[in-house]
Amino acid sequence: MTTEIKIVEEPKKPLAMHPRKFGMWLFLASVAMLFASLTSAYIVRRAEGNWLYFELPDLFYTTSLVIVLSSITLQWAYWAAKNDNLERVRLLVSITAVLGLAFLIGQFMAWSDLVNQQVYFVGNPSGSFIYVLTGLHGIHLVSAVVFLLIVLRSAYKFKIHSRRLAQLEMCLTYWHFLGGLWLYLFVFLILNR
């Protein structure tokens, strides 16, 4: 009598991710590639000469602090949601949105400082780059503030709590990404003037 031995492998668990989170990660990767290409173009163009050197607006230091604080408040909101402290979630998401608006206003005011230094969008490429880099980042931050307002609305409708964190997690990831991106751009501009 022959006995057949069958070797059965246990199926591997597929890597699973919320489809919206996956889409967001693809979006973040494309944004990172966009800014990587712009900063690379900045370095290449600066090496060609005809480059205007100017002081970065002091407001960039202030807005950098504001964006770091906003990341902290949103992280606290996430921790509050994990503990089902919905009042605190609402408060902290609201504070984060206000800080995001303060960042945008500060960036716009920094553009006024650039104009006072006679650094314009049209003209020398160094000015063009700084407006493009900060402007594109600002546009993404506007979308993140809108996302924050959507999260805030969900928080008021009791749709964010310890068992429903996907929307807040996505917003948190996007916000931290944009905060990190700004810090990267700011340090890049300081080191490559």
- For the chain, domain boundaries: 56-191
Global confidence as pTM: 0.89
Cα gap 6→186, rounded to integer Å: 61
Q: pLDDT tens across 68-113, in order?
A: 999 999 999 999 999 999 999 999 999 999 999 999 999 999 999 9
CATH topology of domain 56-191: Four Helix Bundle (Hemerythrin (Met), subunit A) (1.20.120)
Q: Phi and psi for 164 in degrees, rounded to 5?
A: -135, 80
Q: Give the phi and the psi of residue 185 in degrees, each rounded to 5.
A: -65, -40
As a whole number of angstroms, the distance between CA 125 and CA 131 comes to 10
Residues of the chain under the 70 pLDDT cut = 1-3, 6-8, 11, 13-15
